[in-house]
Structure 1
Amino acid sequence: MESRTIRNIKTLSPYLCAIKFNFHFLLPLGQRQIAKINKIAHDHHLQTMADIKLNDIGNTNSVTAETLWGMGFDSVIANPIMGPGNLEKLILHAHKNGNGVISLCHMSSPEAQMTYELPVQLKSKKTILYHLFLEWATSLGADGIIVGATFPDIVSFCKKKSRGKLGIYSPGIGTQGVTYKRQSSQDLTI
């Protein structure tokens, strides 16, 4: 997996600005392997994102983020379901250290409609969950949002509502849910 990833970085780097490494990709790798992959990506002028959808209390988020940044990641993808207070702490911590936070707004899977489009009642207003996530990302200074490319109307809505304050990253073009076959504890193949 490591050699294939490095080969892909070298081949595709002229066409990319960043690479998003999913949680299931990172789990079987060691810290040295991850740091090596991040260094090669940086050598090819690419930013790297840890797509772990971080979602916990402030201290856990900080420790996790520090570990990821120590391995060379430029940013972390966070799930704002943790609440605005914890999201803000993570963003402030990231910015203090020269790193970024990309906040999940709406996922690309078809099932995302069942959750991210839920109506929610706040104290005095009714809204849609992903609208709330967009509002938090914008007001708290996130470095960008994730909105699945499989929902182009929502991508357009978020672009209009954020008024250029946020980068929008839209995964989900093409095949969703690639199946990986584990050959050993150190090898994963597509």
Structure 2
Amino acid sequence: MSRWEPNARGRLEQAALDLYRERGFEQTTAAQIAERAGLTERTFFRHYADKREVLFGGSQLLEGLFVDTLAGTPDTVAPIDAIASTLEAVAAFFVERHEYARQRQAVITANAELRERELIKLASLSAALADTLRRRGVGEPAASLTAEAGIAVFKVGFERWVADDGGRGLAEFLRESLDELRTVAAGR
């Protein structure tokens, strides 16, 4: 193996996903992932703390996108509309990532430990959004409720999108989920 090759993280992510799908999460080791990627186990641990994190390595990037987009929304925009605008921007992040997201979600769904990690990620994201809304001057409990609602819309829309054949974009599913939430909240 060479000392350095480009895109080590991407290669590790793809190798892990392939192995998790072939063998299962529990039966796959970090060494096997590194070998499949053409890298050393040491390189694996330079990039990821453990084999779970290969699937969640983009969490901080996604959280930053959510928070930065929400923070950049004008303060005059109603909190739920600021979340809606944020969801639209986040959907753009997933363009061209449908198949990867679909495969990743299947691996997560098949493993209780990974489902738990996904829920922790979503809870962290909700807390970050609530903090951002409070900094925008939104009081409690409105900030927490809006953040939780936004994450619920994201989760439901995302799950529907990965279950779809890829013919429609994530943004459409997020809009539909938000419209459903508004209908339910209006009592219709």
Between structures 1 and 2, the one with greater strand share: 1
TM-score (norm 2): 0.31
- Higher Cα Rg, which structure: 2
Tell me which of the two structures has the higher relative contact order, counting C-alpha pairs closer than 8 angstroms and 6 or more residues apart.
2
TM-score (norm 1): 0.30
